[in-house]
Amino acid sequence: MNKNNQQGPLADGGKLKLAIQKSGRLHDDSIRLLKECGIDISNGVNKLKAEANNFPIEVYFLRDDDIPQYVEDAVADIGFVGENVVYEKKKKVAVVEKLGFGKCRLSIAVRRNEEYDNEQFLSGKKIATSYPVILGDFLKAKGVSAEIHEISGSVEIAPGIGLADAICDLVSSGSTLFMNGLKETETILQSQAVLIKHANLVPAKQLLLDRLLFRIQSVKKAKNNKYILLNAPNDKLNEIIGLLPGMKSPTVLPLAEAGWSSVHSVLNENDFWDIIEQLKAAGAQGILVVPIEKMII
Ligand code: ATP
Ligand code: ZN
């Protein structure tokens, strides 16, 4: 008997409850990430929730703005949501892992003909935004006093219709700002989708989350790395191997043609082009670069 009326860790069938965006910019990438983690959920676009048949997880489809609240209240154990929403809502949740998609920035923009030297420009001005909390914190930190005008959508049209002198909005390419005669002057937050969790997950749920995290991290590492195969003349092998970082050390196999070897290794995306150029210069030939699906190290 449980006299505190607490739910046991397996009260809901021991499933990890994950909240993702129902539709919008994060939806497809969230489903894709689950799929890359080997978690197939039946298509739930018109449903509130869906279950995976090969992992103990239940997926809830919600508006992104509601996800931090659901996770704080333990209606969902974890959620995939933009950092911008997490910091705006200020709910009691823990940010566990950056997910590498939904990248954007929260920026200040003003009319293109305006002269903006620094944030003092905003002093006494009216700023339209859907992010009053983050903007308020920014202005406070900079000691600027301005009027924040909260609107929920189409923030970028506010200066054009005389509703505000500036806006604070999410930007990815900047083309929306450009089309509305605005220029970006200040970035106040870099954002991407993150995994958040309830502040006190019961151990059984934490174990499931650890399994999921292990998969997510393997997928992320694989995306940042490429598998490289190349042919090297044996007299250049040492020089070529020296250029390859690899997971441990590269694999070297003799080719049928005497005096040549095949070298296999793993390269980080960031170093990729630099190293390829150096490999070519060192005499490497027949370089093949292959995507990696999962990477367990
Ligand atoms: P919902 O109906 O779930 O409330 P929404 O209209 O608030 O959806 P979307 O426009 O789908 O939200 O954006 C969801 C998230 O995608 C944003 O909170 C942000 O984290 C991320 N994002 C990435 N790039 C952009 C962008 N250019 N503009 C807006 N959001 C972006
Ligand atoms: Zn939203």
* Cα distances (angstroms) measured from residue 262 to each of 101, 254, 287: 35, 6, 10
**Range(s) of the domain holding residue 65:** 3-102+193-222
What does the radius of gyration of the chain's CA atoms come to, in whole angstroms? 25
Residue entry with tokens 């949740």: 93
Flag whether 297 is in a domain.
Answer: no
Same domain, 76 and 199: yes
Look at residues 222, 241, 268 and tell me which one is the last residue of a structural domain. Answer: 222
Same domain, 209 and 122: no
Nearest CA to ligand 1 atom 21: 102
Cα(77)–Cα(227) distance, rounded to whole angstroms?
Answer: 36
Point out which residues pair with 148 in neighbouring strands.
127
Same domain, 255 and 108: no
Flag whether 296 is in a domain.
Answer: no
Same domain, 34 and 178: no
Cα(289)–Cα(291) distance, rounded to whole angstroms?
Answer: 7
Cα(247)–Cα(297) distance, rounded to whole angstroms?
Answer: 8
Question: What pLDDT is attached to residue 41?
Answer: 87
Across the chain, which has 297 residues, the per-10-residue mean pLDDT values are: 41 84 96 94 76 93 97 98 98 98 98 96 98 98 98 95 97 94 97 98 97 96 92 95 80 94 91 91 94 88
- What's the pTM value of the predicted model, to 2 decimals? 0.88
Name the token pair of 153. 């959508």
Tell me, using a 6 A CB cutoff, whether residue 102 lines ligand 1.
yes
Same domain, 152 and 10: no
Tell me, using a 6 A CB cutoff, whether residue 170 lines ligand 1.
yes
Ligand 1 centroid–CA 122 distance in Å is: 25
Question: What pLDDT is attached to residue 206?
Answer: 97
Question: What pLDDT is attached to residue 53?
Answer: 85
Counting ligands in written order, the one closest to the CA of 61 is: 1
Question: What pLDDT is attached to residue 247?
Answer: 62
